[in-house]
Amino acid sequence: MKKMLRENKGFSLVELLVAILIMAVIAGTAITLFGGVLNSSRENADKETAESIKRAVLTYMNSTNDVALSCLAVTSATTKSKSLIEYLGLEITIPDNTTTDVSYDWPGTVTTA
């Protein structure tokens, strides 16, 4: 009796499932790592925002020789008009509406919670 040999031209179902499982594990790891980098970059952006506010306040004080900052107002989408002093004590809102606690002490160290 003549034996007919089949040529294997494709992958078996088990081989495809193993390949998909390996790709899912790699994708899950990459997403987890990318999420950490994204959070870190948001924190850095918040620190830079606080530093920019600090530099603006110091520039204003140096250019006007005025330490009474209550005349300056800050308005954002999430807060009503507040004096600059009140604003510096609040949370700084970043564009995607997530917030982080950022504060700085006079004359100048920026800290995050």
Please indicate, yes or no, if residue 5 is contained in any of the structural domains: no
Residue 64, pLDDT above cutoff 70:
yes
C-alpha to C-alpha distance for 98 and 6, rounded to whole angstroms: 60
Residue 106 domain-assigned (yes or no): yes
Total structural domains within the chain: 1
Residue 91, token pair as written in the block = 């949370």
Residue 93 in any domain: the answer is: yes
Structure pTM? 0.37
84 assigned to some structural domain: yes
Sign, CA torsion 8/12/18/19: positive
- Confirm whether 104 is domain-assigned: yes
Coil/strand/helix, residue 21: helix
Record the tokens describing residue 112, joined without a space: 């995050």
Looking at residue 57, its pLDDT comes to 74
pLDDT tens digits for range 8-30: 677 888 999 999 999 999 999 88
Note whether residue 16 is domain-resident. no
